[in-house]
Copies of this chain bind each other. A is one copy, B any other.
């Protein structure tokens, strides 16, 4: 009997109404993914990974944009109380008390991708971007570079802040912060990177040593840096080595291909999605704290220079 009904159901093209079902079951089978800028390749990668994990479990992914203030992100988190999703994955650019409180008060599970909020009992997936910058610096020193410039994005963002700390720590450890110089670009774009890199390259330090390496806080800034280097008639990696961060397709296909620190965006997305599934399955909130380690992908833009060791 039951199979005859099933047969008839498929025959007639009947599928149960999701809304009635949701109302009764108090479950929407939807998960929201919220970021400031859905065009950013890093977030696209995360979204694709989240979708990939959640889809087989019957969950749909709803895209939301947060705006770039913690305030608007908090508003969005509060709007979850209207009950259109079963959980939220959010990657905020900046975090403040209001946002933390909104997340803590959320009626549905929330997982944060970005900085660890373990201290507040919030499930989060973080990465060690500071350490990633450190590994880029180490790689440059190992391949014979002597004087390193840092091209960062805005310092009042979570990534900008962490990466700055990473650079300062790494250069302090290596040579007391000497032979290191930093410059902040307007934002994480190629154009801003070119502008800031020009400033960085124009500076002549006291001891007269020229920059022979630039660590950029993401791949777009790295491309900007390469442009600025070439404007001066210098070559990459011959005169100046350049590293990026995020390991985007962009950087892989650029010429020269760009040495980049992968922060495992797809992996972070997958992990966050898995935590969300566990949470909806009744796991203890605030218990999941995951760290996805950075890994350096060495490519052409930091090739050691024959003979001279890369310094001049």
Contacts and interface: CB of A to CB of B under 8 A. Distances in A.
A138 interface: no
Given A45-B39, A61-B62, A62-B62, A82 B51 contact: no
Given A60-B64, A60-B84, A19 B23 contact: yes
A205 interface: no
A199 interface: no
25 contacts: A13-B78, A15-B79, A17-B82, A18-B82, A19-B19, A19-B28, A19-B83, A38-B47, A38-B48, A39-B48, A47-B63, A51-B63, A51-B65, A60-B64, A60-B84, A61-B63, A62-B62, A220-B253, A223-B253, A227-B255, A230-B255, A249-B250, A250-B250, A254-B254, A255-B255
Chain A contact residues: over half helix, strand or loop, or mixed?
A: helix
A156 to B, nearest CB: 24
A68 to B, nearest CB: 15
Nearest to A255: B255
A190 interface: yes
B60 A62 contact: yes
A42 to B, nearest CB: 12
Contacts of A209: none
Interface in A60-104: 60-65, 78-79, 81-84
Interface residues of A, number: 42
Nearest to A25: B19
A44 interface: yes
This chain: how many copies in the complex?
Answer: 2
B18 A83 contact: yes
A301 to B, nearest CB: 13
Given A18-B84, A39-B44, A60-B62, 19 more contacts: A16-B82, A19-B28, A19-B83, A19-B84, A23-B23, A39-B45, A39-B48, A44-B44, A51-B63, A51-B65, A55-B65, A60-B64, A62-B62, A63-B63, A190-B253, A227-B255, A249-B250, A253-B254, A254-B254
Contacts of A78: 13
A290 interface: no
A230 B256 CA distance: 12
Interface string A36-54: 0011000011011001000
A164 to B, nearest CB: 25
Interface in A9-26: 13-20, 22-23
Nearest to A190: B253
A99 to B, nearest CB: 15
A48 B65 CA distance: 10
A30 interface: yes
